[in-house]
């Protein structure tokens, strides 16, 4: 009797958990992330203008297949993005990639990034020194990772570094200070002008302009590939623009790591109109291989460093889509728990947090002895 009673309790508990899981999955398809609704005057105005441009057809859209493996079967994941714009996000039926089923045309993309993107997601018309400093710190991290991968003694004289989607070019400044020849390209003239004021070589353009530029020892694609509807073509262009021993540094916001990227394991905080491809570590590695790039480093944060392959790498079978299914299920199951954990941590005064970090650090040092 006792065993049967415990079994019944376990079944009821499992049913409650399953209902909550399915409710969360449904909410991720319908809910709008209210914390990302426009707040600043420039965001509010950009939101209205962007909605009008979409509705009036000024920004034209087209339907696409999976941008990684080219398969046309899919499963719906969400129908809205975090600011409330209608956006159909789907999961490929063949590989572990999520993507926007409808994307802007090439002309629409140029208009979007020239006129809307920074206003919608940054809330500012031009960058300030604090924002530039945050880019600079990212550049320092990239420089450290590149240095650990490629010994500085092996750097060619006049190291050539190119960043695509450079913004104000802050990430290039650490390389510039080390004597590298740097160039950054972006579509937003306001941001480019700000970076030029810092002494950086920045030009207006896109990844399509790579064939017109010199070959590079390092090409940086940080938080760029997820914005491109044809990422395979972009990586092939990057490969053709590298020197034989050149390195392509790629970083994307993988949905496998939402808990650690400031999204609190909340899919709706992560989805945005500007992101048209959502990678896993596995799908990003596969895409690089298809572009003729040999992956020499990758991690779960979806940071990849690769070189041009000596010969064309034969396309491998795409990784199983179950990788993405598992990641999504983990997001759905843990979103509410992560949200409460974030709220509790946010309520802890900073001095206490500092004391806890110090105590943990001391404990770890004692344990390691």
| Mean pLDDT computed over every residue of the chain | 84
Q: How far apart are CA 60 and CA 125, in angstroms?
A: 24
Q: Which residues, at least 6 apart from 200, have a Cβ–Cβ distance to it below 8 Å?
A: 169, 172, 173, 176, 182, 184
Q: Residue 203: beta bridge partners?
A: 185
Domain boundaries along the sequence of the chain: 2-121, 127-321
pLDDT tens per residue across span 264-323: 778 888 899 999 999 999 999 999 999 999 999 988 778 999 999 876 655 678 999 999
Helices (H), the chain: 2-30, 41-56, 106-115, 117-122, 129-149, 173-177, 189-196, 231-240, 267-270, 281-290, 322-347, 350-368
133/368: higher pLDDT: 133
Check whether 97 has a pLDDT greater than 60. yes
Check whether 4 has a pLDDT greater than 70. no
Fold designation for 127-321? Rossmann fold (3.40.50)
The whole-number pLDDT of residue 301 equals 77
Q: The whole model's pTM is what?
A: 0.81
């Amino acid at each position: 009797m006792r065993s049967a009673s415990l079994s019944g309790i376990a079944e009821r508990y499992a049913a409650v958990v399953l209902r909550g899981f399915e409710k969360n999955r449904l909410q991720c398809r319908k809910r709008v992330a209210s914390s990302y609704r426009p707040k600043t005057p420039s965001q509010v105005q950009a939101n209205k203008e962007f909605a009008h441009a979409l509705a009036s057809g000024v920004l034209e859209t087209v339907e696409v297949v999976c941008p990684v493996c080219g398969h046309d079967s899919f499963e719906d994941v969400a129908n809205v993005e975090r600011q409330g714009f209608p956006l159909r996000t789907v999961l490929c039926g063949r590989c572990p990639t999520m993507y926007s089923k409808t994307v802007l045309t090439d002309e629409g993309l140029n208009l979007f990034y020239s006129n809307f993107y920074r206003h919608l997601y940054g809330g500012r018309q031009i960058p300030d020194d604090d924002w530039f400093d945050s880019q600079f710190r990212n550049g320092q991290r990239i420089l450290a990772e590149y240095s650990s991968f490629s010994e500085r003694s092996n750097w060619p004289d006049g190291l050539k570094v190119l960043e695509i989607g450079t913004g104000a070019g802050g990430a290039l400044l650490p390389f510039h200070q080390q004597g590298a020849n740097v160039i950054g390209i972006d579509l937003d003239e306001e941001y480019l002008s700000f970076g030029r004021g810092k002494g950086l070589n920045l030009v207006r353009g896109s990844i399509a302009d790579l064939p017109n530029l010199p070959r590079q020892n390092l090409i940086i694609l940080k938080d760029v590939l997820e914005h491109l509807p044809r990422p395979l073509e972009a990586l092939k262009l990057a490969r053709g623009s590298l020197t034989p021993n050149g390195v392509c540094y790629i970083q994307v916001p993988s949905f496998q790591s939402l808990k650690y990227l400031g999204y609190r394991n909340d899919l709706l905080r992560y989805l945005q109109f500007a992101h048209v491809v959502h990678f896993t570590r596995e799908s990003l590695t596969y895409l690089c291989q298809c572009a003729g790039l040999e992956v020499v480093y990758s991690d779960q944060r979806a940071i990849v460093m690769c070189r041009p392959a000596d010969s064309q790498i034969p396309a491998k079978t795409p990784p199983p889509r179950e990788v993405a299914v598992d990641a999504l299920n983990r997001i759905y199951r843990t979103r509410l728990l992560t949200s409460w954990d974030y709220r509790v941590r946010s309520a802890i005064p900073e001095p206490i947090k500092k004391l806890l970090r110090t105590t943990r650090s001391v404990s770890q040092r004692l344990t390691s002895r």
